Chain A
């Protein structure tokens, strides 16, 4: 196996992760904003994404397979499963981060005549960014790991090497998948943590 092949597959893996986390962010943001003011809905939603988290990854991929349109062999099914898994850490941290902004700061912002939207976007979100980023970091690192399962349903990525290596008892092949995946996870963790620190107040 050539280094170029490993590189290509690693990029394929990153693409899977990037798209999944991106879509999860796009869904989580309006969802989190909606949940800020609705305590009941918030409880139910967080409970629901929590339950999704408990489904073993291979099982979730398997459950999605037979569903028309979103299922079937290939990347899109994998991405849908990965998005579902990424939702919990991101939504939860968005909500907790914004609600956790110091009550005095929030009260001052309101008392100075900032509109709800101004309070949210100029005060709460900037102050919640470190917490939100922590959620994104957790989601990204765990998606890098979970995405290895995508190979079982034709989704590609570094899992391909892992499964092939196991089937042929070829440790080199397994490592060709496992090591880049571990490296990607470590790099992602470091980069996002650096970003968290830079944006903390």
Chain B
């Protein structure tokens, strides 16, 4: 009968109309911490801006990929680190002074109509990690201590390419490597350390695995690595479109310390909780 196609058509139109609901797209890079943060941002927006649909495009394959996605409007917001943005995105020499660095980022990013929210509260620096037994055996506390011998180094995909990465660190310390660095997905570095496939790993200071006594971070005694304070980068247009968004995002500022971030990462990596589950717990315990 003529009625069925009409019914179908109106359902289709209604569904199409549904996509006109206000939407914010949350992105993230592709390691645990980023995905957890992405879920936290999404959960916070859903909580504070009901009626707004939140799309998640998490697990993007790297810093530059995420940045391009933000610039092009594929995503509206993602978590970034000050040091990373300065060197890898802006190709500027790293800035040791956090405030000066942050100011520079604000100014430059506004040219792209992108806003930096105040930092979340933790510094996820590159961290040179070794097994704690090894550190005890060879009396290693700082990176300078480690320079006395060559190292089999494990790295993620970015460390070798980045200006604030391997090359600069070798220049600053004179660290020698045994063979080429072994590249792998960041998530596998601790496994590689345990199975002695690598002796040192260029990991991240807030990795969940570091909650274990098993691993030791070698102190960056020459302060080679700049600050990598984590914050949220947002498209200005989205902030204008949703006036309550700014307040909701600023609520997160200063709420996540290094310890907190490590614990959240551990929940995901060691306890194998889902990122959305971790995000939910975080939002609930801190209200």
Contacts and interface: CB of A to CB of B under 8 A. Distances in A.
Contacts of A173: 161
B183 A156 contact: yes
Contacts of B160: 164
B195 interface: yes
A154 B188 contact: yes
Nearest to A165: B161
Interface in B175-202: 182-185, 188, 191-192, 195, 197-198
A74 B197 CA distance: 7
B64 interface: yes
B183 A160 contact: yes
A54 interface: no
Interface string A51-84: 0000000000000010000001110000000000
Interface in B148-193: 154, 156-158, 160-162, 182-185, 188, 191-192
A167 B4 CA distance: 50
Contact of A169 (B62, B184, B185): B62
A119 interface: no
A166 interface: yes
B34 to A, nearest CB: 12
Contacts of B195: 72-74
Of the candidates B63, B67, B185, the one having the most CB atoms from chain A within 10 angstroms of its own CB is B185
A154 B154 contact: yes
Interface in B199-220: none
Interface residues of B, number: 25
Contacts of B197: 72-74, 154
B183 A164 contact: yes
Interface string A150-169: 01111010001001111111
Nearest to A166: B61
A29 interface: no
B183 A151 contact: yes
B65 interface: yes
Contacts of B161: 164-165, 167-168, 170, 173
Of the candidates A151, A156, A160, the one having the most CB atoms from chain B within 10 angstroms of its own CB is A160
A163 B157 CA distance: 6
A73 B67 CA distance: 29
Nearest to B193: A73
Nearest to A157: B183
A153 B197 CA distance: 11
B54 interface: no
B86 to A, nearest CB: 15
Contacts of B64: 167-170
Interface in A103-159: 151-154, 156
B188 A153 contact: yes
A80 to B, nearest CB: 15
Nearest to A170: B161
Contacts of B108: none
Nearest to B181: A160
A173 B64 CA distance: 13
A168 B154 contact: no
B68 interface: yes
Given A166-B65, A168-B63, A169-B68, A154 B157 contact: no
Contact of B191 (A72, A151, A163): A72
Given A72-B195, A168-B64, A151 B158 contact: no
Nearest to A169: B64
Of the candidates B157, B191, B198, the one having the most CB atoms from chain A within 10 angstroms of its own CB is B157
A133 to B, nearest CB: 34
Given A74-B197, A154-B197, A167 B188 contact: no
A160 B161 CA distance: 11
B147 interface: no
Contact of B184 (A73, A165, A167, A168): A73
19 contacts: A72-B191, A73-B154, A73-B198, A74-B197, A152-B184, A153-B184, A153-B185, A154-B154, A154-B183, A154-B184, A154-B188, A154-B197, A156-B182, A167-B158, A168-B88, A168-B161, A169-B62, A169-B65, A170-B161
Given A73-B184, A154-B198, A156-B183, 8 more contacts: A73-B154, A154-B183, A154-B197, A160-B183, A167-B161, A168-B62, A168-B157, A169-B62
